[in-house]
Structure 1
Amino acid sequence: MKALIQRVSSASVDIAGQRHGEIGPGILLLLGVEKTDTEAAADKLLSKALNYRIFADSEGKMNLNLQQTEGGLLIVSQFTLVADTRKGLRPGFSSGATPQQGENLYNHFVAKARELHHDIGTGQFGADMQVSLVNDGPVTFMLEA
């Protein structure tokens, strides 16, 4: 399981021209699910994302996590994160989860996030989404469980 996290000033996701989710300052999390992933891996990755210290403290150092800053978390499924790009000019997706497994783990990740954090926005699994963000920094990290 992979999560690309970006520290944002704001982020939103639209589906079919309608706003589906949005946050102010916080983290945009793009989530990729692989066929070997489990709920335990999802829980571990979520904990890491919520506690990863990427926000500035009073001295300007990245010492604070999302929960300490009470920022928003926008979770968007992104199948292409699990692509194998090592060979050729076309990505391979053989390590990706089936649509059913991917959706189940995405929904589990979102449900756990809502239990642990107050400001959660989401995309919609499998939808054609338009994601907008203002990357703060820019600060971007790839997390893996």
Structure 2
Amino acid sequence: MKSLKKRRRVQIIVLAAVALALSTALIGYAMRDGINFFRSPSQVVEEPPQSSEVFRIGGLVEEGSIERGQGKAVRFTVTDGGASVPVVFSGVLPDLFAENQGMVGTGSYVDGVFQATEILAKHDETYMPKEVVDALKEQGVYQEAEGS
């Protein structure tokens, strides 16, 4: 009688482990397109990602680099102080988008140019995304805002 109970327990434990592994695999598969990794311009220049990879890039908009083209097309350069990456964006930029200001863009790196599908700018004078601050600190460019 004891061996039957023991066998049943082992079967339940094995079945639970298989169900857990299967559910973890399904969750990972479902999230594969929804995860966008952050990279600084220095990381993009050092190890250029595949052109099919969608990721986020962030840094400061280089002074004098904003060029407005036909229609909604905009070209500019994003930097972290160590490297610069040209960016192309077709769309409406946020109101707070400006030179020497922090930004984060989502898109892909094709033929040496980051083709952005979305651009986010800081929302007030003191805010900058954590990833951008970390990348700028790594390059020795970031300066704390006064009063914080």
Q: Give TM class, smaller chain.
A: under 0.3
More strand by share: 1
Greater percentage in helix? 2
Q: Which structure has the greater CA radius of gyration?
A: 2
- The structure showing larger relative contact order (alpha-carbon pairs under 8 Å, at least 6 residues apart) is 1
